[in-house]
Structure 1
Amino acid sequence: MISVIIPAYNEEENLPVLLQKIDEMFRQSGLHGEAVVINDGSTDDTQVILDGLKNKFVFLKTIEHTVNSGVTASLENGISRATGDILIYYPADLQYLPEDIPKLVKKINDGCDIVTGWRQGKYGGKAFVSKIYNFISRLFFKISVHDLNSVKAFKKEIFSNISFQKDWHRYMVVLAAAKGYKVAEVRITLYPRMYGKSKFGPQRVLPAFWDFVVVLFVIKFSQKPMRLFGNLGLISFIIGLGLLIYLSILHWLGEKIGDRPLLLISILLIFVGIQFIAIGLLGELINQNSRKK
């Protein structure tokens, strides 16, 4: 059984069409399942539309958020209500059609743990940003898939074994791969948005950048914090010590060094280096205690 998880924010025009196409997909593919739509604090008639559609589609479940909580929170709530063993994340904007769902499910049934769609088509205004994001992600996370921020199919156990924060849904594939889950991708068709407005905007770029930095840190260094803090601390300490030796030589040669800013900088670098090394050691101790528990 599959569960299609659909976060929706102001999608009153798209949802009837999407659910009709999901119904057709179930009947034509032979797949059995449900659709869980999360109304994420919509200010239009999304909830009214959903209440009416429940009488038409027996596979439909709905969840209503009183305020807009974001895609990650919507996924978490949707998955908590889902009964399928294979979960499908599908946006409500009709840029992805349910006819591609069987391809995603087949990859899971073939032995993959999580499958992401590789979008084929015009991205619209965010094409450049999306390509840069995916290129940098492949480079830093050493992951082979082309498109991380697309529709996904995954085993239910994955979501319970990965720690998520707000807006980390776009890193689901990366976090799953870091846990050793088998990742794959399939080509899917991307269509222009017909109704409603895109939720993407320039204001999301900076928060997405900081999310990237935090996820990279969590994956690369959370289990081995000494690799980051120890190396930074050692570099800082060596530079500070080198400057201090240089100033000591100048002092031995008879030059005044007491009023030089370089003296303060060298002492500060040594102090910061020791602090970083101490943080790394503390992190290693915390990790060891966590593993024992």
Structure 2
Amino acid sequence: MPDCETIDFIVPAYNEAEGIGKTCERLLAVFDKLGLHGSIIFIDDGSDDDTWQILKTQAEKDLRIKLLRFSRNFGHQVAIVAGLTRSKADYNLILDSDLQDPPELVDRMMSLAKQGYDVVYGVRESRQGETAMKKMTAKLFYRLLNIFSPYSIPLDAGDFRLVSAKARSLFLQADETARLNREIWSWVGLKQIGFAYHRPSRVFGKSKYNWKRMLKLAFDGFAASGAAPVLAVAVAAGGLFLLSGLFLIFSAPVYSMVTFSSALVLAAIAIAGFYIARLYTQSRRRPDYLISEIIGTNNGNNQV
């Protein structure tokens, strides 16, 4: 990387005390080996273990480590936004703190960026250490999301990506309370490319994405796709209405159709309620996150 160009790593962390020290060492080793210029911005998403204390110790040892601490757990997606907001670098590498996204791949990603791509995202060719159920639901989620979304969202791609300053600036213009970042990156446009990589098992700890968090992420993703889910329910309702008519014409039992129709009505009401709830949340205009402590700031206005 030319001396004039800089890169900041954006690394959300939540209850990763078991191995966050190793993460710091490995990321700094990548900086040293590749001669990178910039910072590693950790965002502590309201951890209730020793993650913050360990990060503070690491930051005292190396000034390239910058820290943001949320006042409570606000979520992985907004933690990424917080880190990007405080970066002024030419590029950003977004990766998880559990080292499932190999930071050494940044060299390969930078080579693609030099070909004119503003977003270089990783496509998971394999996902080690995950259950068959999680792999299946992830594949289903991505494919359903693409059906509903007005933008083409890369299949099997997560948050691991390298973005230019231009892409970051456009991304941060999306003012959404409930968000799915990978959908917003597709909305941004620009020139993007994916590359396949093998995602290894977690080096330490366990995933913080339980079923509750995964369902919320899924709902946010589908809602972010606009009115498509409502349209899908409307089309299904029309189809069931016609099917019910055929059952009546041929004197077939309609009890099952009544049940399906009732379920469809309830689903439509639930979807409408979900959108109304999102509008209410957005109308309150509360900040997406609150920062209680910053380490590595160069001025007094909460800028890293």
| Percent of paired sites with the same residue | 25
How far apart in 2 are the matches of 1:175 and 1:163?
13
Aligned to 1:161: 173
Q: Please give the secondary structure, in 2, of the residue aligned with 1:161.
A: coil
Question: Mapping of 1:193-208 within 5 angstroms?
Answer: 193-208=202-217
Q: Please give the secondary structure, in 1, of the residue aligned with 2:101.
A: coil
Aligned to 1:111: 116
Contact 2:179–2:221 (CA under 8 A) maintained in structure 1: no
**CA positional deviation for 1:144:** 6.6
**CA positional deviation for 1:201:** 2.0
Q: CA RMSD in A?
A: 2.9
Q: Please give the secondary structure, in 2, of the residue aligned with 1:36.
A: strand
How far apart in 2 are the matches of 1:19 and 1:79?
19
Contact 2:12–2:96 (CA under 8 A) maintained in structure 1: yes
Q: Give unmatched runs, 5+ long, in structure 1.
A: 222-227, 240-293
1:21 to 22, 26, 35: 26
1 or 2 for the larger relative contact order (CA 8 Å, sep ≥6)? 2
More displaced 10-residue stretch of structure 1: 111-120 or 44-53: 111-120
How far apart in 1 are the matches of 2:122 and 2:83?
20
2:136 to 120, 128, 135: 128
How far apart in 1 are the matches of 2:19 and 2:198?
17
Aligned to 1:213: 222
How far apart in 1 are the matches of 2:140 and 2:88?
36
Q: Please give the secondary structure, in 1, of the residue aligned with 2:11.
A: strand
Whether 1:184 aligns to 2:196 is: no
> Residues 19 and 5 (structure 1 numbering): CA distance in 2 closer, same or farther, change over 3 Å?
same
More helix by share: 1
How far apart in 1 are the matches of 2:19 and 2:194?
26
Aligned to 2:63: 58
Q: Which amino acid aligns with 2:162?
A: A
Q: Please give the secondary structure, in 1, of the residue aligned with 2:63.
A: coil
Whether 1:92 aligns to 2:97 is: yes
**CA positional deviation for 1:48:** 0.8
Aligned to 2:289: none
How far apart in 2 are the matches of 1:209 and 1:79?
23
Q: Give unmatched runs, 5+ long, in structure 2.
A: 1-5, 242-304
Contact 1:115–1:152 (CA under 8 A) maintained in structure 2: yes
Per-residue deviation, residues 230-286 of structure 1 (Å, max 9, x unmatched):
xx7xx99xx9xxxxxxxxxxxxxxxxxxxxxxxxxxxxxxxxxxxxxxxxxxxxxxx
**CA positional deviation for 1:150:** 3.6
Residues matched between the structures, number: 226
Whether 1:151 aligns to 2:163 is: no
Contact 1:72–1:165 (CA under 8 A) maintained in structure 2: no
**CA positional deviation for 1:40:** 0.9
How far apart in 1 are the matches of 2:69 and 2:215?
29
> Residues 197 and 72 (structure 1 numbering): CA distance in 2 closer, same or farther, change over 3 Å?
same
Q: Please give the secondary structure, in 2, of the residue aligned with 1:154.
A: strand
> Residues 101 and 140 (structure 1 numbering): CA distance in 2 closer, same or farther, change over 3 Å?
same
**CA positional deviation for 1:42:** 0.5
Q: Structure 1 length normalisation: TM-score? A: 0.68
Q: Please give the secondary structure, in 2, of the residue aligned with 1:151.
A: strand
In terms of Rg, which structure is larger?
1
**CA positional deviation for 1:205:** 4.1
**CA positional deviation for 1:28:** 1.9
**CA positional deviation for 1:167:** 4.2
Q: Please give the secondary structure, in 2, of the residue aligned with 1:54.
A: helix
Question: Mapping of 1:37-76 within 5 angstroms?
Answer: 37-76=42-81
**CA positional deviation for 1:130:** 1.3
**CA positional deviation for 1:174:** 2.6
Whether 1:174 aligns to 2:186 is: yes
Per-residue deviation, residues 52-101 of structure 1 (Å, max 9, x unmatched):
10122221100111200111221222122212121111111121221012
How far apart in 2 are the matches of 1:83 and 1:112?
19
Contact 2:127–2:200 (CA under 8 A) maintained in structure 1: yes
**CA positional deviation for 1:16:** 1.5
